[in-house]
Amino acid sequence: MGSEKIDTVELGTGGPRVGVQGLGCMGMSFAYGPTDADEARATLERALELGVTLYDTADLYGNGENEKFLGPFLRDHRDEVVLATKFALAIDPAYPNKRVIRNDPPYIRQAVEGSLRRLGVDTIDLYYMHRRAPSVPIEETVGAMAALVAEGKVKHLGLSEVTASELRAAQGVHPIAAVQSEWSLFSRDVENGVVAAAAELGVGFVPYSPLGRGFLTGSFVHAEKELSSDDFRRQQPRFTGDNAAANAALLEPVRALAAAHDATPGQIALAWVQQRAETHGLSVVPIPGTRSRTRIEENTAATRIRLTGDELALLEPIAGKVAGGRYADMTFTSAGRE
Ligand SMILES: NC(=O)c1ccc[n+]([C@@H]2O[C@H](COP(=O)([O-])OP(=O)(O)OC[C@H]3O[C@@H](n4cnc5c(N)ncnc54)[C@H](OP(=O)(O)O)[C@@H]3O)[C@@H](O)[C@H]2O)c1
């Protein structure tokens, strides 16, 4: 399984050419419990062999640790990798457990210097605003990001968790290569607005958490009972209490299609998001996260699965039945601003 290189695609008009599936690196240092650093590093290498070139991190992940972890790999493969990182989610020094959103130009300048230093690179290929602080006009934020392009610190710009109107306003200041927002069989709110705007503007789409944070693979049901005490998913309403069992039951058609394709439920979830985005006319590069070589082989192999119209129809009702929100605190998302 997974010995063949995946295809490539241009991520947004004028954006970087990358493998049609990227790699989410967050879990290698953050959010999903204990990590084996050697296996994580081997996963980075295996992904590259399989044609994965878009590697996704953020300064938030492990408070800089994830960027530092990627540094040695990047230095070995700088020309082969399209490196994406993000700014905006900062720690309030007065309240270390609280996150604040910073989109103001002085903060962006400070953030990019920190990321370049930790990553050990001269240029970030794709620099995202991770979250939007509505108090700062998007034009001001993107203007500051565009200045980094002019200075050669950044090559392409991206936005995470933005609305259609925010994307349009941003595109008026500088070309945006990609929107990165949550999109999966369980999370389809992007289809209500920003997806159509991205397609119209020629902006690429990078679905994050395309495996529903692992839940769509069937590898866990009750986060509180099955995951380690520091796992972020224990705080997510979909994976806790009565919601967890109700949501697990929604995977029945995913399992049935997996059996029909001699595939896994996770592969069906990945094939779905790829095809769904193509239906909207988008260039799409999902970034499933994994820390294991066998799973990167499984995930990249999903790019070769094609679901029929009847099969897609079977999966269509799932998202509307999901119990619980994407996050416990949705104020950190684009929901409500759309
Ligand atoms: N922009 C944003 O606000 C934002 C938010 C969240 C995430 N992200 C980015 O998106 C990336 C992906 O999202 P995500 O990691 O949250 O969720 P995801 O890709 O939906 O799921 C990742 C989880 O699934 C597990 N997994 C992966 N492949 C598997 C397989 N074949 N079989 C069984 N389990 C498998 C992983 O475990 P193992 O690692 O142990 O394999 C991990 O626990 C992140 O790494 C991050 O770069 C961005």
Is 327 catalytic? The answer is: no
- What was the pLDDT predicted at 39? 98
The pTM assigned to this predicted structure is 0.97
Per-position pLDDT tens, the chain of length 338: 445 899 999 999 999 999 999 999 999 999 998 999 999 999 999 999 999 999 999 999 999 999 999 999 999 999 999 999 999 998 777 877 788 999 999 999 999 999 999 999 999 999 999 999 999 999 999 999 999 999 999 999 999 999 999 999 999 999 999 999 999 999 999 999 999 999 999 999 999 999 999 999 999 999 999 999 999 999 999 999 999 999 999 999 999 999 999 999 999 999 999 999 999 999 999 999 999 999 999 999 999 999 999 999 999 999 999 999 998 888 888 887 77
Residues with CB under 6 A from ligand 1: 24-27, 32, 56, 130, 160-161, 180, 208-214, 217, 219, 266, 287-292, 295, 298-299
User: From the CA of 222, how far away is ligand 1's center (Å)?
Assistant: 17
User: From the CA of 213, how far away is ligand 1's center (Å)?
Assistant: 5
**Nearest-CA neighbor of 308 among 282, 270, 271?**
271
- What was the pLDDT predicted at 332? 83
3-state SS class at 261: coil
- Class at the top of the CATH hierarchy for domain 8-213+274-306: alpha beta
For residue 127, report the phi and psi dihedrals to the nearest 5 degrees: -115, 120
| Helix (H), strand (E) counts: the chain | 12, 11
User: From the CA of 151, how far away is ligand 1's center (Å)?
Assistant: 33
Element at 105 (helix H, strand E): helix 105-119
Spatial distance between the Cα atoms of 293 and 262, rounded to a whole number of angstroms = 20
Q: List the domain boundaries for the chain.
A: 8-213+274-306
User: From the CA of 25, how far away is ligand 1's center (Å)?
Assistant: 8
Q: Do 115 and 145 meet the contact criterion of CB atoms below 8 Å apart?
A: no
- What was the pLDDT predicted at 336? 74
- What was the pLDDT predicted at 2? 42
| From 32, 61, 128, 208, active-site residue | 61
- What was the pLDDT predicted at 3? 54
What's the burial of 39, exposed, middle or buried (CB within 10 Å: 0-12/13-18/19+)? middle
Q: Look-up: residue for tokens 């069937």?
A: 218
From the CA of 86, give the closest atom in ligand 1: 1
**Nearest-CA neighbor of 182 among 303, 326, 304?**
326
